[in-house]
């Protein structure tokens, strides 16, 4: 792809109308003629000033000299571009987009060259490729402009794709994602972010935020900085950092902007923070000063892998400017380093022979060549492309035809200084980064210690590898500052005002709600004994079966109502007892289903009244047995005291008393449906509140009192003649009845939710079946299966025997 672009750049079109250059031409700071000219656009000064700019510590001065060194090295080689010389034109942009575009225009127009005052408008530029700017915004402007003229731009830093664009440093997309994985690795899930207000910072931070959200990282604040901002804006950013609760800051910014920020941080002594940085500043030597280390102590971030450039340091130390050299950039650099001037009017005159070995600054330091090495690779990338192009041209035709179809990934791959240089289909190199940590060595010098690396070409989950043993002890690796946590059950997330959405308080859920795994309140499951569940259906079947069995026994007794066994013990009470047992079975159905106002009132009152009616009948039958036996004794007149009328009145009195109690209960404090949310935190239990617990226990206690009376009397009559009375059956039935209700009390209290209701229904059914089976089944057995025993003679036989023995 790069070869194709250079071919287009070298092509010559037909004659066009002549054009004239407007204004004064811009002279390059550094230049040299050659068969092929490479343009260089760098930031040799940080800002535009009205006075003559001075070079302080801008690292791109070293970049420019590295470009010159690479070109000189290539010109001296015979294996690359033999018999061909490379030249250069290098411009200074002062790190501004307008000057970067102006420099690109100057390179394309050939400004500064000896040429006629008018030129053909279609004349091709003498520049065959441009080594681009380190910052994204200027390079976008450059690539957009020169791309229209098919001039390739090879950048030693990162940028989004352009048709004629190549880069020797991987895309920031990978670095941003790697930073998110790094932050997650240390558990810093609550962070602040700072970015430069340019394409580098905005694009990089946007990718980081997206990746951070996927990793579960929450961002408390996102501040924007730029070197031309007012001091008030920087102070506002510092204030945000001071007031924030997060102790980890991810800064995706260029080093110049970070220098302006750190000045304010130093003035206010903002220390104790964990800084995570992008490659632009975290591995910049001019940022890593002893003074700045107070703020950035233990900083960690990704950097381009360090490398050596053999012969570069010697080249830098051998450069000698002169007032007549024409390289104004080198002259300015020299004047700044030695505080002299080639202008004789200055107090100290430069000779050009000053000793560079005595100078220790970024220009002479060749130990950290992370970005510098990529400038070196960028020059060699163009040189190899030109070399392949010239080789194709020498082959006259077939090679050029095939070259047009060559894939980019096959064109620009080469080995340089032991490093395999290759590009993918987008013009990007493989994404590999060193993970560096700021550490202070024993000599008090800040070092960028490599503690791991990131390689995007490795499989997912294995791309990020680090050695924790090498990390500086002061790095805030213990900080797990969280704005949020998992809310406790029964609470929900509530966003804090003025805070990010992931920063919240935990508020209690509303009544009837519960928090789920997403910390949101949802309605609890509703629980009650329903008709649809298996337990409810089983209870319904037994209730209906009991009612059916009671009705069947009633039918049998009605059919054989004139037989001695039916008439022997007050058939009227027997029919009334069977009727009450049928009601007892049916009243259990009111306990099943969703509680309502009417069902809650009906279930307890119906239960209380029907059971009192039932026990009253049993009590009446027990008394009749005792009275009947006493009446058979000579001279006994006891049956007159408890005849049929008295039996009816006793049953009616007992039942009316319970009915009156239930009426007062319903009027004063009736039962009502309620939602029980305290017994079980996960479900809402729909149940019937008693309204009055006292009334409930009075109703229950009254049934118990009658049951005990009935049991005692039946127990006393248990030894009467078997053929005559049913006392022993009543005794056994009451024993079952009382046993059921005694065990009911602890079971009722301990059963949770709907099982409380199920226990009560079971007690009703069990006690009702106990009475029905123990009292009536023996009689039905005789009536239906042993009719010969259903006679007065059989019933009176034992009583006559007892009387004769007395």
At 139 the three-state DSSP class reads helix
65-74, 634-643, 687-696: the lowest-pLDDT one: 634-643
Residue 548, pLDDT above cutoff 50: yes
Find the range with the poorest average confidence among 190-199, 451-460, 769-778, 788-797.
788-797
pLDDT number for residue 606: 92
pLDDT score recorded for residue 478: 42
Q: What is the pLDDT of residue 474?
A: 44
Helix axes 727-750, 754-785, angle to 10 degrees: 170
The residue that leads in pLDDT, 234 or 26, is 234
pLDDT tens digits, 194-209: 999 988 899 999 999 9
632-646, 711-725, 767-781: the lowest-pLDDT one: 632-646
Between the alpha carbon of residue 586 and those of residues 512, 665, 746, 762, the distances in Å are 32, 22, 24, 13
pLDDT tens column, 521-534: 877 788 888 888 99
User: According to the model, what pLDDT value does residue 750 have?
Assistant: 82
What does the pLDDT read at residue 503?
67
Residue 490, pLDDT > 50, answer: yes
> Range with the lowest mean pLDDT among 114-118, 121-125, 209-213?
114-118
- Above 60 in pLDDT, residue 712? yes
What pLDDT was estimated at residue 164? Answer: 52
381-385, 467-471, 748-752: least confident range: 467-471
Which is higher by pLDDT, 147 or 585? 585
Nearest to 388 by CA among 364, 377, 404, 369: 404
Give the range among 209-218, 273-282, 324-333, 648-657 with minimum mean pLDDT: 324-333
- pLDDT of 153 > 60? The answer is yes
Quote the tokens at residue 69.
């060194």
Q: Does 495 score more than 90 pLDDT?
A: no
d(CA 586, CA 192): 69
Q: What is the mean pLDDT of the chain?
A: 79
Q: Can you spell out the DSSP letters for 330-398?
A: HHHHHHHHHT-BSSTTSSSB--S---GGG--STTT--S--HHHHHHHHHHHHHHHHHHHHHHHHHT-SH
Looking at the DSSP assignment, which residues form a beta bridge with residue 194?
A: 223, 251
Percentage of the chain lying above the pLDDT 90 cut: 27
Confidence of residue 408 (pLDDT cuts 50, 70, 90): very low
What is the three-class DSSP state of 611? helix
pLDDT band of residue 729 (cuts 50, 70, 90) is: confident
Section 281-290 average pLDDT: 88
Q: What does the pLDDT look like over 552-562, one tens digit per residue?
A: 999 999 998 88
Comparing 64-68, 82-86, 564-568, 611-615, the range with the smallest average pLDDT is 564-568
The answer, yes or no, to whether residue 187 has pLDDT greater than 80, is yes
């Amino acid at each position: 792809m790069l070869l194709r672009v250079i071919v287009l750049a070298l092509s010559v079109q037909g004659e066009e109308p002549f054009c004239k250059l407007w204004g004064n031409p811009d002279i390059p700071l550094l230049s040299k003629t050659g068969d092929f000219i490479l343009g260089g656009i760098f930031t040799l000064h940080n800002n535009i000033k009205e006075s003559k700019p001075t070079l302080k510590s801008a690292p791109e001065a070293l970049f420019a000299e590295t470009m010159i060194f690479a070109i000189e090295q290539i010109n001296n080689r015979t294996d690359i571009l033999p018999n061909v010389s490379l030249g250069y034109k290098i411009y200074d942009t002062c790190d501004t987009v307008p000057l970067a575009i102006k420099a690109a225009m100057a390179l394309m127009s050939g400004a500064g060259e000896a040429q006629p005052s008018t030129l053909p408008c279609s004349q091709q530029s003498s520049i065959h490729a441009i080594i681009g700017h380190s910052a994204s915004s200027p390079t976008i402007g450059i690539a957009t402009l020169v791309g229209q003229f098919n001039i390739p731009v090879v950048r030693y830093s990162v940028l989004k794709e352009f048709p004629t664009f190549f880069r020797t440093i991987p895309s920031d997309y990978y670095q941003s994602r790697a930073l998110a994985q790094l932050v997650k690795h240390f558990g810093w899930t609550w962070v602040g972010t700072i970015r430069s207000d340019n394409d580098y910072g905005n694009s990089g931070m946007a990718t980081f935020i997206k990746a951070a959200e996927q990793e579960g990282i929450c961002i408390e604040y996102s501040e924007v900085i730029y070197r031309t901002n007012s001091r008030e804006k920087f102070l506002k950013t510092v204030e945000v950092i001071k007031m924030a609760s997060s102790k980890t800051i991810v800064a995706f910014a260029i080093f110049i902007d970070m220098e302006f920020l750190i000045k304010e941080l130093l003035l206010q002594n903002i220390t104790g923070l964990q800084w995570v940085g992008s490659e632009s500043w975290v591995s910049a030597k001019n940022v890593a000063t002893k003074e700045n280390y107070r703020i950035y102590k233990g900083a960690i971030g990704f950097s381009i892998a360090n490398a050596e450039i053999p012969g570069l340091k010697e080249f830098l130390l051998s450069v000698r400017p002169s007032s007549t050299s024409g390289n104004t950039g080198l002259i300015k650099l020299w004047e700044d380093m030695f505080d002299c001037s080639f202008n004789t009017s200055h107090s100290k005159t430069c000779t050009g022979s000053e000793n560079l070995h005595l100078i220790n600054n970024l220009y002479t330091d060749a130990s950290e060549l992370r970005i510098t090495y990529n400038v070196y690779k960028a020059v060699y990338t163009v040189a190899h492309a030109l070399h392949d192009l010239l080789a194709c041209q020498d082959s006259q035709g077939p090679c050029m035809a095939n070259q047009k179809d060559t894939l980019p990934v096959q064109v620009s791959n080469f080995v340089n200084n032991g490093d395999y240089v290759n590009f993918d289909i987008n013009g990007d190199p493989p994404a590999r980064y060193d993970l560096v940590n700021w550490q202070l060595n024993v000599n008090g010098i800040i070092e960028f210690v490599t503690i791991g690396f990131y390689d995007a070409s490795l499989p997912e989950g294995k791309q990020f590898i680090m050695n924790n043993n090498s990390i500086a002890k002061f790095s805030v690796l213990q900080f797990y500052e969280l704005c949020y946590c998992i809310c406790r059950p029964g609470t929900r997330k509530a966003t804090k005002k003025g805070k990010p959405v992931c920063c919240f308080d935990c508020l209690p859920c509303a009544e009837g709600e519960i928090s789920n795994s997403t910390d949101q309140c949802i309605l609890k499951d509703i629980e009650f004994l329903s008709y649809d569940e298996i337990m409810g259906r089983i209870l319904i079947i037994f209730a209906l079966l009991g009612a059916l069995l009671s009705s069947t026994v009633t039918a049998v007794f009605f059919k054989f109502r004139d037989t001695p066994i039916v008439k022997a013990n007050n058939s009227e009470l027997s029919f009334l007892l069977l009727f009450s047992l049928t009601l007892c079975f049916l009243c259990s159905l009111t306990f099943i289903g969703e509680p309502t106002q009417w069902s809650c009132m009906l279930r307890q009152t119906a239960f209380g009244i029907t059971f009192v009616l039932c026990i009253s009948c049993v009590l009446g039958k027990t008394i009749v047995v005792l009275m009947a036996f006493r009446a058979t004794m000579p001279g006994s007149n006891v049956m007159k005291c408890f005849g049929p009328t008295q039996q009816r009145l006793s049953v009616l009195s007992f039942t009316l008393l319970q009915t009156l109690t239930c009426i007062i209960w319903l009027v004063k404090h009736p039962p009502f449906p309620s939602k029980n949310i305290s017994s079980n935190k996960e479900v809402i239990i729909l149940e019937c509140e008693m309204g009055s617990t006292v009334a409930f226990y009075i109703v229950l206690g009254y049934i118990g009192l009658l049951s005990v009376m009935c049991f005692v009397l039946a127990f006393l009559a248990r030894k009467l003649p078997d053929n005559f009375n049913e006392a022993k059956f009543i005794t056994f039935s009451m024993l079952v009845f009382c046993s059921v209700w005694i065990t009911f009390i602890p079971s009722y209290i301990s059963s949770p939710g709907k099982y409380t209701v199920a226990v009560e229904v079971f007690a009703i059914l069990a006690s009702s079946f106990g009475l029905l089976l123990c009292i009536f089944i023996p009689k039905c057995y005789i009536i239906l299966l042993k009719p010969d025993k259903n006679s007065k003679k059989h019933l009176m036989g034992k009583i006559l025997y007892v009387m004769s023995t007395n």
